[in-house]
């Protein structure tokens, strides 16, 4: 069970913390929003125990003991990409496409058919930005998936992929997104956000859609009634103030539209890319970031730890630092992190594995749909199937 101190600010007043930190604890206790300056202070001075207690307190009253997961699989149409993000270990340039993969329509539909009769609820479609896979091609893919399996929620395409395919089709973002929605697209994943601030973005991924463009695409999706996720790639060259700037811009858009389902911090992995000389963040820093995200992003109900990238043990630890979602069972259909050096070389977890991992830390596993509708609550004694 999550223990909730009777009065957090009293606890922290007695500790040997920076004098400004107890005021933040008091705000958390009163369920008030913290400012950007306070968020920065947490990054600079909040030790793991402090930020962890606050995050756990918030997750406690928001989610009681529940931890969500979903049953999903990925389709990664290609890793050929016109962009050259320095942190990417996954993509291949078009001229080297023989080293990568390019799936045809039937090949992708075969992946969907493989799950016939299985209780998956979501397909996550994401990949490189291939110069020859256009809007029409993806609209056809989506409508064929929907025709075959109407119950499957289609979450697809990062704002980076969308920006490219819609611009190439010479449509406005609004019209392009409407076409995809009409074809059956239901939500957007959170990728491509990286770090919005241009001082960082211009170094790590200068040639793709900028932060303002990313936010515009998500705002457009929300205005069309679609939901989306938001990510932040952390632990490379960014400074704490860039993280706060990024999180603050997401928080503002969420105030405006309410369309984000969850926030997903993505830990930079350094194998096989042009930023391999940068050391990866420590687990303590990872956990501090999850906790501060939970405290700062007060209008994001769900905080997701993506276990294929973090590794399952660290992902399990995040459950004590504000996280309430572990993404999905996934199968082994994603390569983006195994190619960047994640411990999870062939990530797949059965529902039973996920439930065991959640039960082991005293939480209650709940299978959810993409929009966080509860599908099944797994009590400890119940057989998993
Ligand atoms: O935008 C690429 C990241 C993202 C590396 O919405 C890397 O449910 C770490 O966004 N080290 C794509 N990260 C994946 C993504 C995602 C994943 C899971 C769930 C959801 C969701 C979205 O992967 C990219 C980039 O930020 N990435 N290379 C790397 N070396
Ligand atoms: Fe392409 Fe995405 Fe890799 Fe950037 S992160 S190079 S956009 S596949």
For residue range 28-73, list pLDDT tens digits in order.
Answer: 999 999 999 999 999 999 999 999 999 999 999 999 999 999 999 9
Given 45, 63, 81, which residue is the final one in a domain? 63
Question: Would 368 be classed as within a structural domain?
Answer: yes
Boundaries of domain holding 38: 8-63
Question: Would 348 be classed as within a structural domain?
Answer: yes
pLDDT (average), residues 13-25:
76
Tally of structural domains, the chain: 2
Element containing residue 318 per DSSP (H, E): helix 312-318
Beta carbon of 56 within 6 Å of any ligand 1 atom: no
CA of residue 73 to ligand 2 center, whole Å:
20
What spatial distance separates the first Cα and last Cα of the chain, rounded to whole Å? 25
Sign of the torsion angle spanned by Cα atoms 157, 161, 165, 171:
positive
Question: 308 pLDDT exceeds 90?
Answer: no
Model pLDDT, residue 92: 95
Model pLDDT, residue 383: 46
Beta carbon of 194 within 6 Å of any ligand 1 atom: yes
**HSE-up of residue 306 (Cα within 13 Å, Cβ side):** 25
Element containing residue 352 per DSSP (H, E): helix 351-359
Model pLDDT, residue 379: 83
For residue range 127-182, list pLDDT tens digits in order.
Answer: 999 999 999 999 999 999 999 999 999 999 999 999 999 999 999 999 999 999 99
Beta carbon of 91 within 6 Å of any ligand 2 atom: yes
For residue range 227-279, list pLDDT tens digits in order.
Answer: 999 999 999 999 999 999 999 999 999 999 999 999 999 999 999 999 999 99
Q: What percent of the chain has a predicted confidence (pLDDT) above 70?
A: 89
* Domain CATH code at residue 326: 3.20.20.70
CA of residue 85 to ligand 2 center, whole Å:
6
CA of residue 307 to ligand 2 center, whole Å:
20
Model pLDDT, residue 11: 60
Q: What percent of the chain has a predicted confidence (pLDDT) above 90?
A: 84
Whether 42 and 73 map to the same domain: the answer is no
Whether 182 and 77 map to the same domain: the answer is yes
Whether 38 and 115 map to the same domain: the answer is no
Model pLDDT, residue 15: 54
Whether 39 and 145 map to the same domain: the answer is no
- Best residue among 300, 328, 329, 336 to mutate for probing ligand 1, ranked by most atoms within 8 Å of CB: 336
Whether 41 and 98 map to the same domain: the answer is no
Whether 271 and 295 map to the same domain: the answer is yes
- Best residue among 77, 80, 84, 90 to mutate for probing ligand 2, ranked by most atoms within 8 Å of CB: 90
Question: Would 385 be classed as within a structural domain?
Answer: no
Whether 59 and 102 map to the same domain: the answer is no
Q: Cα torsion at 285, 291, 297, 302 (round to 10°)? A: 110
Name the closest-CA residue to atom 8, ligand 2. 128
Beta carbon of 89 within 6 Å of any ligand 2 atom: no
Question: Would 197 be classed as within a structural domain?
Answer: yes
Question: Would 309 be classed as within a structural domain?
Answer: yes
Whether 49 and 97 map to the same domain: the answer is no
Question: Would 383 be classed as within a structural domain?
Answer: no
Whole-number Cα distances in Å, 114 to 7, 75, 77, 111, 221: 52, 12, 16, 5, 30
Beta carbon of 85 within 6 Å of any ligand 2 atom: yes
Whether 116 and 229 map to the same domain: the answer is yes
Average pLDDT over the chain, rounded to whole? Answer: 92
pTM for the whole structure = 0.93
Name the closest-CA residue to atom 7, ligand 2. 83
Given 63, 78, 96, which residue is the final one in a domain? 63
Whether 110 and 224 map to the same domain: the answer is yes
């Amino acid at each position: 069970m999550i223990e909730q101190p009777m009065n957090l600010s009293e606890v922290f007043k007695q500790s040997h913390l920076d004098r400004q930190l107890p005021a933040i604890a008091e705000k958390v206790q009163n369920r008030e929003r913290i400012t950007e300056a306070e968020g920065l202070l947490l990054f600079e001075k909040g030790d793991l125990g402090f930020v962890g207690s606050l995050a756990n307190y918030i997750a406690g009253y928001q989610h009681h003991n529940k931890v969500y997961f979903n049953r999903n699989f990925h389709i990664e149409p290609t890793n050929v990409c016109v962009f050259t993000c320095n942190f990417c270990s996954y993509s291949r340039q078009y001229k080297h496409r023989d080293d990568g993969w390019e799936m045809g329509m039937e090949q992708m539909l075969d992946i969907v058919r493989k799950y016939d009769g299985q209780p998956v609820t979501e397909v996550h479609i994401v990949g490189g930005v291939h110069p020859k896979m256009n809007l029409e091609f993806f609209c056809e893919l989506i409508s064929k998936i929907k025709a075959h399996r109407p119950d499957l929620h289609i979450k697809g395409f990062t704002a980076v992929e969308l920006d490219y395919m819609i611009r190439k089709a010479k449509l406005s973002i609004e019209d392009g997104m409407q076409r995809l929605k009409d074809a059956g697209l239901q939500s957007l994943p959170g990728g491509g956000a990286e770090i919005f601030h241009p001082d960082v973005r211009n170094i790590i991924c200068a040639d793709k859609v900028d932060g303002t463009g990313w936010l515009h695409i998500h705002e457009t999706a929300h205005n069309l009634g679609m939901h989306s996720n938001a990510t932040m790639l952390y632990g490379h060259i960014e400074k704490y103030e860039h993280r706060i700037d990024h999180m603050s811009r997401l928080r503002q858009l969420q105030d405006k539209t309410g369309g984000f389902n969850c926030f997903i911090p993505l830990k930079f992995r350094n194998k096989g890319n042009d930023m391999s000389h940068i050391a990866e963040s420590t687990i303590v820093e990872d956990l501090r970031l999850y906790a501060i995200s939970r405290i700062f992003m007060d209008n994001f109900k769900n905080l997701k730890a993506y276990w294929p990238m973090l590794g399952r043990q660290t992902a399990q630890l995040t459950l004590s630092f504000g996280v309430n979602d572990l993404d999905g069972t996934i199968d082994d259909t994603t390569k983006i992190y195994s190619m960047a050096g994640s411990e999870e070389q062939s990530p797949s977890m059965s529902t039973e594995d996920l439930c065991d991992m959640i039960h082991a830390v005293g939480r209650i596993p709940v299978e959810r749909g993409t929009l966080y509708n509860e599908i099944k609550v797994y009590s400890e004694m119940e057989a998993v199937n």
